[in-house]
Amino acid sequence: MESGVYAIFGGSFDPLHNGHIEIIDQVFHTFDLHKLLLLPAFCSPFKNGSFFMPKHRLQMCALYAKECIHKDKIEVCDFEIARQKTTYTVEVLRYFQARFANARIVFVQGWDSFESLGNWREFRILTQNMDFVVFDRGAHTQKDFENLCAKFMIPALNARFLPLSKEVCTISSTQIRARLHSYLDSRTQNHSDNVFDGIPKCLHEYIAEILALELTKRTN
C-alpha cells in the first residue's frame, strides 16, 4: 500500500491556464508530495456547460503533465471523466482512499469552493478524512480563513491558506473562454497572440487544432 502525501487538484480546467499552474507550483513548494493528482471534472455539480469537451480537457492536462517540471510526480486521473456523470468529492475521496490506503490526502480548492463546503455531500466525512489547501485571489486574509475553518471544525493543522500572486489573480477562465468564443464568432483563422493569453505554451498547438476543427464545422 502506497503512503506519503497525495494532493488532489480537481476542476473543470476549461481550459487549463497559468493560474492553475501557479497553484500546482505552490502546492509542490508547500508540501513534500509523493504525487499530485490532476483530476479534470466531467461536469461540476456547481457549473453548467463547458467550452472544451471532457476528452479535450483531459488531454490538455496530460500535455501539461508531460512537459512540466513536476512531471515525475503528477498523475492525470480520468476517474471523473470516465464515469461520464457528476461526481461528488466524497466519491473522489473514497476512490483515492482505496488506491492509497496509507496516504495523507490533501484537497486543493479555491476560496469560493471552500466557502460552500457546508453544502457539499457528506462534508463531515471530507473534513474528517483529508486536509485542505485553499487558494485565494486576494479578497481574504489568513484570519478570514481561520474563521471559516473554525466554522467547519477543521483543525488548524489540517488546512493551509495560499494567496495567489497579483499577476495570476488577473487570469480568468471565464475571460479566456470569452476570447475563444469571440475568435470563433469572427470566423478568422489568423490567430492573434491574445487568444492564448494566460494559457501555457505547451497547449497552444493543441487548442489551435481544436479551434480549427470547430471553424471547419461552422463553415461547412
**Max alpha carbon distance in the chain (Å)?**
58
What is residue 82's predicted lDDT score, i.e. its pLDDT?
96
Look at residues 49, 47, 51, 46 and name the one whose alpha carbon lies nearest to residue 14: 51
Q: Splitting the chain (220 residues) into consecutive groups of 10 residues, what average pLDDT does each group show?
A: 87 95 95 96 69 95 96 97 93 96 95 95 96 93 96 94 83 90 76 82 96 86
pLDDT for res 189: 58
The phi and psi torsions of 33 (rounded to 5 degrees) equal -80, 140
What distance lies between CA 60 and its chain's CA centroid?
12
Q: What is the pLDDT of residue 133?
A: 97
Residue count (the chain): 220
Strands 3-11 and 33-40, bridge-based pairing:
parallel
The reported pLDDT for the residue numbered 48 is 60
d(CA 95, CA 7): 14
Phi, psi of 61 (to 5 degrees): -65, -40
CA dihedral for 118, 30, 87, 113, sign (positive or negative): positive
Grid coordinates given for 102: 496509507
Cβ within 8 Å of residue 186, ≥6 positions away = none
CA triple 109-114-120, angle to 5 deg: 110
The pLDDT of residue 138 is 85
pLDDT of 17 reads 96
